[in-house]
Structure 1
Amino acid sequence: MKSLSFLSCFFSKLTRSGAMLALAATLVAFPACGNAEQAAYHVATVAEGLDTPWAMAFLPGDGRILVTERGGRLRIVDPGSGDIGELTGVPEVDARGQGGLLDIAVHPAFPEEGWVYLTWAGEDRGRTATHLGRAMLDLDELALSDLEVLYVADPFFDSTAHYGSRIVFRDGYVFVGFGDRNFKNFGPDHIAQDISNANGATIRLALDGSVPEDNPFVGQQDADPAIWSYGHRNIQAMTVHPDTGAIWLAEHGESGGDEINIVTRGGNYGWPLASYGVDYRTGQPFAVPHDETDEFIAPVHHWGPGRTDHFPPSGMTFYTGEAFAEWQGHLLVGNLYHRYLGLFAVDGESVSSPERLLEGRGLRIRDVAVCPGDGSIYVIADDSDSPLLRLEPTANDARQ
């Protein structure tokens, strides 16, 4: 018997409602890119009319999906009917530039622990900083309450770019990746090399926002004790490896130089002193490539230099479902500029070049998630009128 969660995620009963019958008409068949042995898939439009969505999170035991919109709305989507609701109690955000309401993640013990975690760009006297907070979720009232700001990546800057930010949980802690706020200084005094603040860094906190005593820079003078790793440019993708528990992230480079990294405690990833990118303005190198120095931790996969060879990422997850058996352990990452969903085979710390899913549909992929019930793949795009899409196996390839 399939669980109710499975039924709410998977498009299996076309007769549930007229809305579901209409949804059936939106199915389009696409062959999988690349190897012939990889599964074919089709695409269903689950819901329509999302306004510049940025992140999504499944509600365990419920089947519905929380979706942030960068303008400041938090939506809740029923994937069975396609209905979209709106929650109240969302923090005030600054949506200028790349800011707004950003990532969302559900407490690992939800629904027993009713917290949801959010990141957003907050404003103070015209300047902005990335915020991490949590609030209690009331599904009956469709409301957030008891909002707590857990961390602010201060200082506030006169910049509306490179906020990051993604949230993951591991071992009872919350990790968040931030951006470098788009500072163009390529020297050693760049903000991402300054551990007195978390811009261009990842942080690790207890779930209540307190700083763990075993963080790498606790007790170090002029260091932010929340920092876990640093030397990053603009982290817009993070996930936890399902087997090793390692945190993987993907970050934007400068005209190429996009990277996939495995996060290590206290690690310096080199930005902007080591990079495979080149200066947007001049097209010239500004840093030594990682493979020419052992001073910094090198990415496990990279692109560049130049705009023709780059992969500006957003949204990232390992595939662990049953719907696409051939993709078990593969990495799914959204590509903003080239507008496709990358499917990467992973062998240990070796990452292949990606197969291109959803290519040709013009979608700046912003986030990707795997339904915990049936293993179908959900995708949102960066657009003012964006659909929520679901990738499923074709009928002759569906798993029993």
Structure 2
Amino acid sequence: MRALISTFASIAALVLAPVLAAAPAQAQDRYETEASHAVIMDYDTGQVLFAKDAETPMAPSSMSKMMTVLMVLEAIEAGTLSMDDELPVSEYAWRTGGAASGSSTMFLELGSRASVEDLLRGVIIQSGGDACIVLAEALSGSEAAFADAMTARAHELGLTSANFANATGWPDPDHYISALDLARLARILIRDHPQYYGMWAEREFTYNGIRQYNRNPLLGNFAGADGLKTGHTEAAGYGLVGTAERNGERRIIVFNGMTSNRDRTAEAERMMRAAMSDFAVYDLFAADTVLDPRAAVFMGDADTVGLQVGEDIQVALHRRARRNMTVSVVYEGPLMAPIEAGQEIGRLVVEAPGYEAEDYPLYASENVGRKGMMGRIGAALAHMIRGGS
């Protein structure tokens, strides 16, 4: 049996009705992007507002340096490293990530020492590969060992698509992570390390007499933008993990595969505008809500049982898709007594044009006992008289 709850702006009492045919998806109800991989996430709930090939592992280039930073911040909070520690610049770090490498660098000098605080800014603002390697060697002894530790920690955090071969994002067939897991990583950095988060919004950093600028195109160009990380390699194209907060709402965007820096800049602003303006997270039901009407029960000491929501239910949608959203209850009815409170007896199904249907379990809100012998006989006779319907 299926019952329709609502098709428009408010969730009203459950009304028994045939399921309406879903309206065809409208082009304006969906965001489109030329990026090869993309995701828009609501920060507060972690709900995905938009996704394009978001779960496929990809080459993240320097965007994977967010994981390097996370490892360092966790070491600082664990007391194994401090912001004031001075770390040595090895020849390997200098050659592999320094000026001679041809990649983004902090311009650390061979044999010099740099503070952890400066190295973090070198990673976050300048995307310095040399700074990444110095930190990796300090924490794990070698970049390879650090990459293994990055992968293990990522998996512990639920970022199961991740596999890291280095600390810098240098191209390697064994170095990859999905856009969705990059968004989750960004959420972890913002949520769990607020005391250091301000570094991501810093526009420039001068080290060794060399002034360098943050490449994040959102900073200074999109009100409320305060992070996070760009990335670029020939193989992966141009990518960005960006975030902004407006009116108490924060969004995270991730995309990769743009063909030029100019295209990345344009797509960053366009995607963040859409993230803030075109999408919303709708609160449908609070946990323990009992829906109305109740489910029919056969052979019970009560004729109906309440259908109870087991969790807060929130749905992330394009605002224009919301008008054609349907919320319905599905259960095999009438339900056969006895029924125990907390027993799963149905599903709540949320559908909208252009989106995959989402469903949630519904539970019995109370016990329903079985009728006595005479009651069961009477119910069976009534069922026969009605023709078994």
Q: Which has the higher contact order (CA 8 A, sep 6+)?
A: 2
Answer whether TM exceeds 0.5 for this pair: no
TM-score (norm 2): 0.26
The structure with more strand, counted as a fraction of residues: 1
The structure with more helix, counted as a fraction of residues: 2
* Rg larger for: 2
